[in-house]
Amino acid sequence: MVPGDPVVAHVGSSVILSCWISPPENAEALEIRWYRHDFNNPVLLYNHRKIQDIQECFRNRSSLSLRSDQSGGLKDGDVSLRLEKLTFQDEGPFHCYASGDTEYGSREIALKITDPADPSGPWKALFVTLLICALLGLVGLILYRYRHKLTGKKAADEIKISIERERLHPDLMVTKNLKMVRNSAEYNHTDEGFPYELCTFGAQRFTSGRHYWEVDLTRDNTPPKHYWLIGVVKERSSASKHRSAVTASAGFWFLCSDGPHGFHSNTDPPVKLSLTPRPERLGVLLDYDDGQLSFYNVTERKHLLTISSRFSGSVVPLFNPGAGDEILKSWIVQNL
């Protein structure tokens, strides 16, 4: 959970940005990274059981801290950040990121700095700070678990997704092992819109459970693709060149990258996203029973979008390489 309001503190004072792993687990062996705008320039980096780096402007005034007197610290999954001698430059978003061998997750907290000279500021800030600390100031870090269950059970079997050749669009080419697909050199896309008719389908069918696969969107050191469509579709649904025909009510659920037109879902209403940098590898998590389809930037380890729906009958992976880009590479599916 993330507080709806920013954490408020006075300039010159101290504050704790609370973040913890839920359900609780020992975080001593994890990588804990607090950062602002640049993932690679952390405010504080904890790894290999010790502080590895602190950004220059936060030296001697930042540390991992207990979110409350009752906290068990890192052993209980408490990865909160304490900041001292606050400046107005500290205002803005802070990202809490935790990563282990089989899991990762991140949450954002907004910090608001007030001026004690403002007559209304101290009382307002004090009230808000106390309220947030008492009720809302704890950020639950829900780690995205995509390789193994954290219950000690055996890892799920890996399933190789393949393209269903029998339903391949005539303007698409697929490799012999059915792992790569692209538009043919003869395909002439003259319409201004995205070529939805190039949708192709995975051979694997899902009627329950949780399933995860990844799609590479770059190959041989080429830039990430600008045109693609990835998701799931109700089995035996037919692709169409018209966007109005590939809706959730028609059995399609996907995220689409349409070059200069940006990223969008096919929900009603559609969700438009600004994704920077462009994903090099896209993770897809289908939770059939809970009716959720989630997308992740695997390289950046970021959640992008979750589509909620109600699935019925068999659904299969959905792919569309678009037109004019490099080849759409392989993908791997894995039950969770």
CB 129 within 8 A of CB 8: yes
* pLDDT tens track for 305-314: 899 999 999 9
Both tokens of 103, joined, read: 């899991």
User: What is the second-level CATH architecture of the domain 158-335?
Assistant: Sandwich (2.60)
* pLDDT tens track for 45-66: 999 999 999 999 999 999 999 9
Query: Where do the CATH 2.60.40.10 domains begin and end in the chain?
Result: 7-145
SS3 content of the chain, % helix, strand, coil (to 5): 10, 40, 50
User: What is the Cα–Cα distance from 79 to 82, expressed in whole angstroms?
Assistant: 10
Strands 292-297 and 50-54: unpaired
Across 185-196, average pLDDT: 76
Q: Is it true that the peptide bond before 3 is cis, omega within 30 degrees of 0?
A: no
In the prediction, which pLDDT does 329 show?
A: 43
* pLDDT tens track for 197-245: 888 898 899 999 888 888 888 876 678 889 999 999 998 887 777 888 8
Query: Where do the CATH 2.60.120.920 domains begin and end in the chain?
Result: 158-335
Is the CATH code 2.60.40.10 the one for domain 7-145? Answer: yes
State the DSSP code for 40: T
State the DSSP code for 61: S
